[in-house]
Amino acid sequence: MSLDADIALRNQHTHDKFLSVGIWTGDDIFDPADALLDFSESPEARQKLCDFLWEEVGRLVDEHVAKGKTVFDATWTFLDAQREKRGNHGTTHPR
């Protein structure tokens, strides 16, 4: 996994839960795998839940990619500014 090297920065428990997904019902949080098991007797309800989860996970991925890109861009902007400050006008990172 691409984040395995980051375990040293956090404890194992934090790493295990870092990218977990839960279903918030307004009253409680449920594990999607448990919720899918609850609908094992109702294929239509299970499919609706699968469709919902697919859309929500996609939304979360887009949201976290955007946040990561913001950090990435800010880091390169900072590094480029430091390079210029030192008088080293070498190549900047292509964005």
90 in a structural domain: no
| Closest listed residue to residue 33, CA positions, set 15, 21, 48 | 21
35 in a structural domain: yes
Q: Number of structural domains, the chain?
A: 1
Q: What local confidence, expressed as pLDDT, does residue 28 receive?
A: 86
Structural domain range at position 49: 4-85
93 in a structural domain: no
pLDDT digits (tens, 9 = 90+) for 36-81: 888 889 999 999 999 999 998 899 889 989 999 999 999 999 998 9
**pTM (2 d.p.):** 0.59
Task: Report yes or no: 22 and 30 within 8 Å, Cβ to Cβ.
Answer: yes
Task: Report yes or no: 50 and 36 within 8 Å, Cβ to Cβ.
Answer: yes
H helices within 1-86, ranges in order?
12-17, 32-38, 43-85
Q: What local confidence, expressed as pLDDT, does residue 46 receive?
A: 93
64 in a structural domain: yes
pLDDT digits (tens, 9 = 90+) for 3-24: 566 666 666 666 565 667 788 8
pLDDT above 60 (res 31): yes
Distance CA 49, CA 31 (A): 12
